[in-house]
Chain A
Amino acid sequence: AQSVTQLDSHVSVSEGTPVLLRCNYSSSYSPSLFWYVQHPNKGLQLLLKYTSAATLVKGINGFEAEFKKSETSFHLTKPSAHMSDAAEYFCVVTVNQAGTALIFGKGTTLSVSS
Chain B
Amino acid sequence: EAGVAQSPRYKIIEKRQSVAFWCNPISGHATLYWYQQILGQGPKLLIQFQNNGVVDDSQLPKDRFSAERLKGVDSTLKIQPAKLEDSAVYLCASSLSDRANYGYTFGSGTRLTVV
Contact = CB atoms under 8 A, between A and B. Distances in A.
> Do chains A and B stick together as partners?
yes
A95 B108 contact: no
Interface string A33-65: 010000001111110010100000000000000
Given A42-B108, A44-B43, A101-B45, A32 B56 contact: no
A95 B106 CA distance: 18
B3 A99 contact: no
Interface centre among A43, A92, A107 (most CB of B within 10 A): A43
A32 B108 CA distance: 24
Contacts of B93: 44
Interface SS of A by simple majority: loop
A42 B6 CA distance: 12
B107 A43 contact: yes
Interface stretch (B14-22, B76-84, B95-103): B95-103
B55 interface: yes
Nearest to B56: A101
A104 B43 contact: yes
Contacts of A99: 99-101
A103 B55 CA distance: 16
A98 interface: yes
Interface of A: 32, 34, 41-46, 49, 51, 90, 92, 94-95, 98-107
Interface of B: 3-4, 33, 35, 40-45, 48, 55-56, 91, 93, 98-101, 103-109
